[in-house]
Structure 1
């Protein structure tokens, strides 16, 4: 959907009862950009790590993150919030650029790479959970938002955080332990 002319027609109209659609649109598009980065990064990790135990552990989480992004897009559509393509493209570019950081190795992944990437994913999932909690609060006064769906999304984010933390600690211990 085009961004041209949208801001003036949206103005400060309310989304349901009390939410400013202009600000909610910015907020949700920022979350969509973050979701795009997280999805791209976890899929990159699964490909880069191939058939390793970490890749196997990340595959189901990657599937859930893709589902969560689709849920966000559905919620945005339900609320009449258009996805801003320029934010998605900027997020994709930033994620690609993030792969170029020096890691002390020329060709291979550093043992710390997975640890840092897992921390990055955790931060993204925590941000996503915060977004779901904010929408859950709005659902109390906006009947378009499904409270049960949001409760499930919040719980799934909690499970993802626990799984990512366990993986991060395992890999940090392996990477940092003296041989």
Structure 2
């Protein structure tokens, strides 16, 4: 085994990789926002619906922040990735849930788990951009820290909603 250090990619290669990475996150953010909207409309608990509606608005703001980063870097969304991701998100709603004509009580729990995973991915996006540095991302580190902190707050709020939804399974 060679102990030689791996050469860091040059700026051009880093930007090429970043373009792919941001396009992937852009398509995921679109699907995630749609899922937040769906969960906000369909959750069984009215207080949870209100919190999910607020979270959905924040997620849309985060999508605009990502679009701004991409615009600064002259990266356009990939329409094919967006289409495939949106189709996958739609197909995910068709899964059998044991109930023919109504929403399963498990749906709230499973949706909150999926939303938590989406927010965790978004948190990691902001952390990755911060690690790359402003010379590559053309993004203010304080802006990225604020976006990361908002993602952490969103995860905590989703965690509370998940705990309440899971507990509601026991009470019917």
Alpha-carbon distance, 1:143 to partner: 7.1
Structure 2 CA distance for aligned equivalents of residues 160 and 92 of structure 1: 22
Structure 1 CA distance for aligned equivalents of residues 46 and 39 of structure 2: 10
The TM-score normalised by the length of structure 2 is: 0.88
The TM-score normalised by the length of structure 1 is: 0.85
Whether the aligned pair in 2 keeps the contact of 1:132 and 1:154 (CA below 8 Å) is yes
Whether the aligned pair in 1 keeps the contact of 2:116 and 2:159 (CA below 8 Å) is yes
Q: Which residue of 2 aligns with 1:91?
A: 85
Q: 1:57 to 1:156 in 2, by over 3 A?
A: same
Q: Which residue of 2 aligns with 1:69?
A: 63
- Residue 52 (1) aligns with residue 46 (2): yes
Whether the aligned pair in 2 keeps the contact of 1:21 and 1:81 (CA below 8 Å) is no
Unaligned runs of 5+ in 1: 1-11
Q: Hey, which of these two has a bigger chunk of helix by percent?
A: 2
Whether the aligned pair in 1 keeps the contact of 2:134 and 2:140 (CA below 8 Å) is no
Whether the aligned pair in 2 keeps the contact of 1:36 and 1:88 (CA below 8 Å) is yes
Structure 2 CA distance for aligned equivalents of residues 155 and 125 of structure 1: 11
Structure 2 CA distance for aligned equivalents of residues 83 and 13 of structure 1: 23
Q: Which residue of 2 aligns with 1:14?
A: 11
Q: Which residue of 2 aligns with 1:42?
A: 36
SS at match of 1:29: helix
Q: Which residue of 2 aligns with 1:134?
A: 128
Structure 1 CA distance for aligned equivalents of residues 76 and 19 of structure 2: 7
